[in-house]
Amino acid sequence: MSEAIRAGEAEPLLRLSAVSKRYGAATALHPIDLAVTKGSFTAILGPSGCGKSTLLRLIAGFTEPSTGSIEIAGRDVTRLVPEKRPTNMVFQGYGLFPHMTVAENVGFGLTIARRSRSEIGERVAETLALVRLEELAGRPIQALSGGQQQRVALARALIMRPLILLLDEPLAALDLKLRQAMQTELRRIHKETNGTFVFVTHDQGEAFSLADNLVVMNEGRIEQIGRPQDVYIRPKTLFVSQFVGDTNILEGTRRSGVVELAAGPRFASAGPDGKVTFVLRPETVRIRPAQDLPSSPIAGITGTIEELHLLGDGARITVTAPEGHQLIVRLPNPRFGDGLAPGIRVAVDWADDALTEVGAP
């Protein structure tokens, strides 16, 4: 018994194997593999048209894959119709039933499943309490605000106790304040229901604040999968480094274990010879006025401050090196006495591990 449970935990709850989707000659999704563990909160992040919504629709069963198979809890659901899958979805436009009240919307799935009136009543009340909409049970859908409709859509899916809750850009239609509040709510509900959530978004801030597992997609391919902080610190591709946060791209050449960046610095780095690309997060760059330099040469670059933007919670500085290379530096806490201003000559450098090599674009 306990062994079976342990085996069940080792198995991912959702497994996609070589799943692809073509529409005629156009490929929406190249063959991908993806595993989602039970209890995780997975964000599928990518620009519009990257195939992330297609991926979600494949999991929900609204689209059949051209190749590959989809398994949920060890069961092959590739050819299963959406109504038979243990998944429920929160749709981007919510898709609430306009001719029903809030309670009727939330109870719809159980009504279809022919549950008893009392059970439906109980679970509707319980789920509405979970999304904090108890008072609105009898209201017609049209009388609700966008944020409230969002919660109804969430409750309507959650009441089915899905093995996997799918959310398609769930917060896209809400304004900033409401979006932040709903992010907190989603995290709380994820914890309280002990559920497995997979959501699609194009907003990296949303992905980072919600997810514990990040899938970055581009042009129908998965670029990187990992914990959000790992993806941020160690992007695998140029696309990921640029899509997820601000970045500096440094190109160079490697010859027998020594890299020489076009912008100047040389350092030891193992790998095959040839052209290389490194990325450098702006907040990992150190900066100081050039006259403070010790006489010995440093690993960094010297240049002139081109622009200095104060951002309220920090500053964004653009440094131009003599050869025209530009570097963006972010300082979390600019001190105005430290002599940084446009036109000033500065030296910038970074810790050895701040540079991350990425695959060719």
Question: Does residue 108 touch another protein according to CB under 8 A?
Answer: yes
Q: Please choose, from the candidates 206, 201, 195, 205, the residue with its C-alpha nearest in 3D space to the C-alpha of residue 216.
A: 201
Question: Does residue 96 touch another protein according to CB under 8 A?
Answer: yes
Comparing CB distances to another protein, the nearer of 96 and 287 is 96
Question: Does residue 157 touch another protein according to CB under 8 A?
Answer: yes
Question: What is the rounded CA–CA span in Å between residue 328 and residue 320?
Answer: 9
- The DSSP bridge partners found for residue 255 are 258
Per CB under 8 A, the list member of 93, 146, 339, 359 interacting with another protein is 93
Extended beta strands in the chain, E state: 14-23, 26-36, 41-45, 67-72, 75-76, 87-90, 164-168, 197-201, 213-218, 221-226, 248-255, 258-261, 266-268, 274-280, 285-289, 301-310, 315-320, 326-331, 345-350, 355-358
Least gap, CB of 108 to another protein (angstroms): 5
Question: What is the rounded CA–CA span in Å between residue 289 and residue 295?
Answer: 13
Per CB under 8 A, the list member of 34, 43, 56, 89 interacting with another protein is 89
Comparing CB distances to another protein, the nearer of 92 and 277 is 92
Question: Does residue 86 touch another protein according to CB under 8 A?
Answer: no
Site string for another protein, 160-179 (x = CB under 8 A): x-------------------
Per CB under 8 A, the list member of 27, 37, 38, 91 interacting with another protein is 91
DSSP 194: T
Q: Distance between terminal CA atoms of the chain?
A: 49
Sequence letter at residue 199: F
Question: Does residue 83 touch another protein according to CB under 8 A?
Answer: yes
Question: Does residue 88 touch another protein according to CB under 8 A?
Answer: yes
Least gap, CB of 261 to another protein (angstroms): 50
Q: Which residues bind another protein (CB under 8 A)?
A: 60, 62, 81-83, 87-89, 91-99, 108-109, 112-113, 156-157, 160
